[in-house]
A and B are shown apart, each in its own frame.
Chain A
Amino acid sequence: MKYALYLGCAITTEAYSYEMSARETLSRLGVEFVDFEGASCCGVTIRSINPFAFLYLSARNIALGEATGLDIMTFCTGCRMTLLEAKHVLDHNEKMKERVNAVLASEGLEYRGTSQVKHILELLHDIIGLEKIRSSLVRTFPGLKVVPHYGCHAIRPSGIGPQDDPEDPQKLDDLIRLLGAEAPYYPQKLDCCGAPLLLKNDNAAFTLSGQKVKSIQDYGFNAIVTICPSCQKMLDTQDICGRTIGATLNVPTLYYTQLLGLAMGTDPDRLGLGMNISPVKRIIEWGKTTAPA
């Protein structure tokens, strides 16, 4: 299993713990990555203000990935949606492809449409598969109630590529249960993290993330797992979103790959767990420090 790795902006410049934990766990599962040079932003943030420039940016990154001859892997859900949407347009609209390629040519690039674009959720659940992951585990989390936060752009819009059910996603739930934890249903499961509003109204953005974390805390669940650097940032920075909604929040929030790494017995420092802001220590030590009665 070998992929061209497209990381996008948030992971490349900030969300190092996601990259560390993903590289660490996926290499143990036999996945190899080619880190290609020259990448830029996927265009997600300018999608609504300049549709053609968004297509150009996405096509540019796909073209760079295609040049490796491999399929392209993303970890960020925003990059996933953006690249898949652009691919969908370009593979179905020859004229648009020509126009984009005319712009790409000045950098010596060409979009051909020869590589698939995939996201880590699909990689873990469908490509590597639950059985193979199970055989890599040395530890489980009995009794730990972990709620999945999928992120809107991991599952919607439908029709642009393989994905989970847009209204009732289950793949991350499956991956949580695989680690011996519980994945309880909660009514706020599909609620947005608020990140796209940061560009317009950060108070509203953090109100949305704060409300989501608050409901999870009120249900008494132990942790939140994410599969996107933007969602993680919104839900993990509970000092900020807690202040915004006037609540004290402390629900451990971590990337799925960090929880998976712990289940594989990986050193928490190699998973970047010291970078999380929410109290993940409880999860690292789960089941290890049963106090004598």
Chain B
Amino acid sequence: MANLVDQMSAAESAKDVYRLEQRMLREMKENITDQCVQCVKCTAGCPAMKLLELHPHEIMALFNLGFTEELLRSEVIWTCLTCFKCKERCPQKVAPVDVILLLRSIAVARGTPPPAGFASVLQALMDRGIIQEPVEVMLKSVKTGKKRFSDRSGCSLPAASRPKDLEKFKEAFTNALVQAMSEEGT
């Protein structure tokens, strides 16, 4: 897996990535996060607050104070559920979730491996374009109680749609992955 993350971070010279990062972070700060008034409404509704101690308002404060490096290294940015409640509810139209997601992508672009689950999903997409091969499921008849394992066709479903030319897909997907941190950013 390391090779995929490496590929993404090796796309641009370290200096270019650094310059781009700084620009993205500055824009995020100037355009959005400066408006945060620390009302804590975001944290009050955050589903990861109690369980995982994710406090979006604190992330905003730290971000605005310039603790970017600390945030990039912290585990807590990976606990966000992307429920978008904080974005919806913020009275200042600030979106902690957007900052959290930007921090994640910068961390990965620098070569920090994402949590194992993310890495294996990325590898699976690279290998086949979809997350897993269609599995056989236990099909229990409600009427007769009979059990059998069944694939899609056993469920009277058409064959799974998936990339036709996997090599071409892989080439394009790799191309997209390495472009992530190039000039225009997202």
Contact = CB atoms under 8 A, between A and B. Distances in A.
Contact of B135 (A13, A152, A198): A13
Contact of A7 (B84, B161, B165, B182): B161
Interface string A49-72: 111110111001000000000000
Interface stretch (A30-38, A115-123, A130-138, A176-184): A30-38
Nearest to B78: A200
B105 to A, nearest CB: 5
Contacts of B15: none
B142 A50 contact: no
B52 interface: yes
Contacts of A99: 179, 184
A27 interface: no
B155 interface: yes
B29 interface: no
A103 B117 contact: no
A52 B137 contact: no
Contacts of B179: 52, 99, 103
Interface in B112-157: 114-115, 117-118, 121-122, 125, 129-135, 137-143, 150, 152, 155-157
- The main secondary structure of chain A at its interface with chain B is helix
A98 B152 CA distance: 37
A46 B8 CA distance: 13
A2 B122 CA distance: 33
A275 B131 contact: no
A218 interface: no
B163 interface: yes
Interface string A152-164: 1100111000000
Nearest to A7: B161
Nearest to B174: A53
A157 B87 contact: yes
Contacts of B8: 50
A92 interface: no
A197 interface: yes
Contact of B176 (A56, A207, A275): A56
A41 B141 contact: no
Contact of A200 (B79, B139, B141, B143): B79
B175 interface: yes
Given A39-B162, A40-B130, A156 B84 contact: yes
From A17, A49, A52, A272, name the one whose CB has the most chain B CB atoms within 10 angstroms.
A49
Interface in A187-201: 190-192, 194, 196-201
12 contacts: A9-B131, A19-B155, A40-B162, A46-B125, A49-B114, A52-B185, A156-B85, A158-B88, A200-B117, A269-B142, A274-B141, A275-B140
Interface of B: 8, 47-48, 51-52, 78-85, 87-89, 100-101, 104-105, 108, 114-115, 117-118, 121-122, 125, 129-135, 137-143, 150, 152, 155-158, 160-165, 168-169, 171-173, 175-177, 179-180, 182, 184-186
